[in-house]
Amino acid sequence: MAHSLPDLPYAFDALEPHFDARTMEIHHGKHHATYVNTLNATIEGQADLESQSVEDLISDLSAIPENIRGPVRNHGGGHTNHSFFWKVLSGSGGGEPT
């Protein structure tokens, strides 16, 4: 399973004025994409790892070969964190704090 950069659930300019469109384009299209691409490159050729979801990869790091454990943790974690981050932001606001 090649990991992929998820589409944003809104337009790049949907979070203005808090996050401008250019910042979102760079952060999503370059920063987050680098996490995904580097994770894929790190596990390339290891079918047992390539077939796992990113959540499975990072949930049991002891199962990852020691020589790539750090990069899988960093880039898999960065990919997971950013994927979650995009989902919790909203251009229409979130209402009153609870």
Mind listing the pLDDT tens digit for each residue in 1-19? 689 999 999 999 999 999 9
Kindly compute the dihedral angle of the four CA atoms of residues 9, 12, 13, 18, in this order, to the nearest 10 degrees: 90
- For residues 58 and 76, is the Cβ–Cβ distance under 8 A? yes
- Yes or no: domain 21-88 corresponds to CATH 1.20.140.10: no
CA distances from 54 to 13, 30, 31, 35, 82 (A): 28, 19, 17, 11, 12
What are the sequence ranges of the domains in the chain? 21-88
Q: pTM higher than 0.85 for the full model?
A: yes
What's the pLDDT tens digit per position in 12-65? Answer: 999 999 999 999 999 999 999 999 999 999 999 999 999 999 999 999 999 999
